Structure 1
Amino acid sequence: MDINLAQLKIIEITEYENNLFLRDEIPHSDGVELYEKYKTQVDIEFPSYTTREHWKLKAKGWVGYIPITPEFHLKINPKVPIQNLFGMLEYAYKLKGFRFLEGLMDCESLKDFYNNLAQILAHKVLERCRKGLYRTYLPKTQQLSYVRGRLDVQQVIQKPWNVKLKCDYEKHTADVKENQILAWTLYIIGRSNLCSERVSPTIRKAYHALQGLITLQPCSAKDCIRRQYNRLNEDYRLLHILCRFFLENSSPIHEMGNYKTLPFLVDMAYLYELFVAELLQKNAPQGYFFKQQHSIKISQNRHFSIDILLCDAATGKTIAVLDTKYKVPEQAENIDIHQMISYANTTKCTQAYLIYPKNLTQPLDIQSDKIRVRSLTFCLDDNLDRAGQTFLKNLFLLISQNSHQ
């Protein structure tokens, strides 16, 4: 659907900040649409006496772009410097080090980053199509007028009058999950209305190159993780990393008449967790390693997941539990402290750390029986690699002090 850019209105807010707008700046029906569909991501107060007849919007830790209607869009800017946001995305999605990303850090907005990454994915899909899509053998059962593969003799005996023969065989096909992920991701990108006129034709071309060969099947970000690769499909590893980025940060399609919106929204708390874990894994000092999203079963139907474990490389023993908190309260919340004590007890370690993007006004350092819970800062305002080294230095200084007590 073509949108008249002259009629398009975009309002901008910044995450975790109260943003005020005059009553006539946001159409009432659009405010209702925003409230009904995105109240999880954005707090919205309608114009009233208490708001002095202003709209009051506050993004709750999400950044990105929401096309509410064809004429009215909401842009949510991050509190962190935009280049650091890109750096976090690079680490979190294991993109750091790829040469094709060198120009990506020059983007001026998250939407530009989205466009450039979408174009890279489309070009790489087209490149793979030219070389030939990955194919494999899939088991198939079908009623045929001729024998193919293994004949179901039992059925022939039971129904000798049936001219169709039930055969089990293997079909060599490109219509496999590896390619279905690509097709679905390109479909999602195409429906987003976020691609520029420069990028959209390439997205359509890549999608059409898969049409007819690949069934359009809904895929999730989880489908892109822990896939098996071999010499025939090793280049799909990067393609699926890119697909994960788009699928993980795209919300479900909402119907609004003939207009379908597909917002691009990044959960900053989740991104912060992924980023910190990945950077620590890549920079673990000798003799240690970090585990990410360690799942622990506490009963038959209940389990919890710990953000990060610091472990001894020689013994595998857990030394400390770490949990990221993408918020900056004056002091650590009691529920978070109790959670860390529970994590430490479960993993049989004595040290627990709550990690914040900025220093707390009241730093945390408490002792509960043998367990010590402290706060640490992994700053997002500075150079990310330098911030990572500072964090590691402070962490292992505390680890060392604790072991000598």
Structure 2
Amino acid sequence: MDINPVQPIILEITEYENKLFSLDKIPYSTGVELYEKYKTQVDIEFPTYKTREYWKLKAKGWVGYIPVTPEFHLKINPKVPIQNLFGMLEYTYNLKSFRFLQGLMDCESLEDFYNNLAHILADKVLERCRKGLYRTYLPKTQQLSYVRGRLDVRQIIQKPWNVKLKCDYKEHTADIKENQILAWTLYIIGRGSLCSERVSSTVRKAYHALQGLVTLQPCSAEDCIARYYNRLNPDYELLHNLCRFFLENSSPSHERGNYKILPFLVDMAHLYEMFVAEWLKKNTPQGYFFKQQHQIEISQNRHFSIDILLCDAATGKTIAVLDTKYKASEQRGNTDIYQMISYSNTTKCKQAFLIYPKDLTQPLDITSDQIRVRSLTFSLDDNLDRAGQTFLKNLFLFS
């Protein structure tokens, strides 16, 4: 895993805020590259008379680090305090019970945050390597010059001249998915640009500790979810949760050919949606339960997914439909309202709530066909647990 020696120019922007850069700050070819590859994450206006010959950039709800070229990198800062960004991840990736992560709350920048998580993962992998990697038995078939496991008698009869014996046996190996996830994640981190030299050294050491024992295989974030843990590998749950974070937010996941530095990008809308759902699941008041990503089939091969349903535990009846909207208040449109009315009709409930991270300048409260659609706030500006309790209080006050 090589370290790119080029010291790039780094420009910074903040999500949802326009920022102007002078003509000489961004090479034209770099602007084209940014537009072609990252138009989903960043709005870019090229210098024209309209922009007074300035570049105009605006991040569309993503935060992270984009190495557009080896010479030019773009850093997108969150509007959310770094401490609360980590707090959201604690819930989303089930990290809250691991007390040693508390030191991360002192991180002041996205780089600090990424560095610390990468260091924890690499350090924990090295610790596990010293203890011995988790192993299991895998079935294997091989032509051998000696007997191992069960012989294929039919092949011996059919080909008596073959000195190699076909054997079916089970091999006790560390080259399994549990460890392949670790190796692939360390490989991805090593190709990134955010780690300090100290952390990069630890990541390389952990990666090399796995080499020879574990095959480098592309893994996805989905591979980290719902794995089986037993008394021999309980620590792997934390390792896989950390891997899931890096694999979900590093893209592309795999490229062949020449070495390319990978971007690190967090979709804040998706993170906010997952965080609110996980926080509610862990703080559900007695007598109720929440359903996440509830699938509703509306016709053959057509369905939609509702973020959250609030249900009565005794009857199972849906009390309210909830949908998170991580976007600026001025972007609220009728489409969201129509969507919530549709969700309410489908689930046969009369209450619907759009959840925002900030108070709307004009709170939403509309009734249509006996369905009431309102806005609620789950703030990300203050203590998250306190904000969650305020949100719950208002939700049950209105439900």
**Smaller-chain TM-score range?**
over 0.9
Letter in 1 for 2:287: G
**1:35 lines up with 2:26 in the alignment:** no
Counterpart of 1:246?
Answer: 246
Q: Any residues of structure 2 matched to 1:390-401 within 5 Å, and which?
A: 390-399=390-399
Gap change, CA 1:215 and 1:254, over 3 Å in 2: closer
**1:304 lines up with 2:298 in the alignment:** no
Q: Secondary structure at the match of 1:260?
A: coil
Counterpart of 2:168?
Answer: 168
Unaligned runs of 5+ in 1: 400-405
The structural deviation recorded for 1:320 is 1.8
Unaligned runs of 5+ in 2: none
Counterpart of 2:347?
Answer: 347
Q: Is the 8 A contact 1:355 1:377 kept in 2?
A: yes
**1:314 lines up with 2:307 in the alignment:** no
Of the structure 1 ranges 255-264 and 88-97, higher mean CA displacement relative to structure 2 is found in: 255-264
Gap change, CA 1:314 and 1:158, over 3 Å in 2: farther
**1:213 lines up with 2:199 in the alignment:** no
Letter in 2 for 1:360: L
Q: Separation in 2 of the partners of 1:341 and 1:159?
A: 71
- Matched pairs, number: 398
Q: Separation in 1 of the partners of 2:367 and 2:216?
A: 55
Of the structure 1 ranges 274-283 and 161-170, higher mean CA displacement relative to structure 2 is found in: 161-170
Q: Give the TM-score, by structure 1 length.
A: 0.92
Counterpart of 1:110?
Answer: 110
Counterpart of 1:180?
Answer: 180
Counterpart of 1:200?
Answer: 200
Gap change, CA 1:151 and 1:218, over 3 Å in 2: same
Q: Residues 44-66 of structure 1, C-alpha deviation per residue, up to 9 Å, x if partnerless?
A: 11111121111011101001111
Q: Any residues of structure 2 matched to 1:254-265 within 5 Å, and which?
A: 260-265=260-265
Gap change, CA 1:165 and 1:371, over 3 Å in 2: farther
Identity %: 83
Q: Secondary structure at the match of 2:190?
A: helix
Q: Secondary structure at the match of 1:251?
A: coil
Q: Separation in 2 of the partners of 1:244 and 1:144?
A: 39
The structural deviation recorded for 1:322 is 1.0
Counterpart of 2:67?
Answer: 67
The structural deviation recorded for 1:214 is 0.4
Letter in 2 for 1:16: Y
Counterpart of 1:402?
Answer: none
Q: Separation in 2 of the partners of 1:56 and 1:393?
A: 41
**1:94 lines up with 2:91 in the alignment:** no
Counterpart of 2:284?
Answer: 284
The structural deviation recorded for 1:276 is 0.9
**1:229 lines up with 2:235 in the alignment:** no
Q: Is the 8 A contact 2:218 2:254 kept in 1?
A: no
Q: Is the 8 A contact 2:64 2:110 kept in 1?
A: yes
The structural deviation recorded for 1:129 is 0.8
Q: Residues 174-228 of structure 1, C-alpha deviation per residue, up to 9 Å, x if partnerless?
A: 1111111100000001110211012111101100110000010111111111111
Q: Separation in 1 of the partners of 2:5 and 2:150?
A: 59
Gap change, CA 1:85 and 1:304, over 3 Å in 2: same
Letter in 2 for 1:281: K
Q: Is the 8 A contact 1:69 1:259 kept in 2?
A: no
Counterpart of 1:78?
Answer: 78
Q: Separation in 1 of the partners of 2:371 and 2:148?
A: 66
Q: Separation in 2 of the partners of 1:171 and 1:296?
A: 45
Q: Give the TM-score, by structure 2 length.
A: 0.93
In angstroms, what is the RMSD of aligned CA positions? Answer: 2.1
The structural deviation recorded for 1:291 is 2.3
Q: Secondary structure at the match of 2:330?
A: coil
Letter in 2 for 1:379: S
Q: Separation in 2 of the partners of 1:174 and 1:255?
A: 25
Q: Residues 97-146 of structure 1, C-alpha deviation per residue, up to 9 Å, x if partnerless?
A: 42211211111111110001110111111111111111111122222333
Q: Residues 64-114 of structure 1, C-alpha deviation per residue, up to 9 Å, x if partnerless?
A: 111222222111111222222222222222222422112111111111100
Q: Separation in 1 of the partners of 2:233 and 2:299?
A: 39
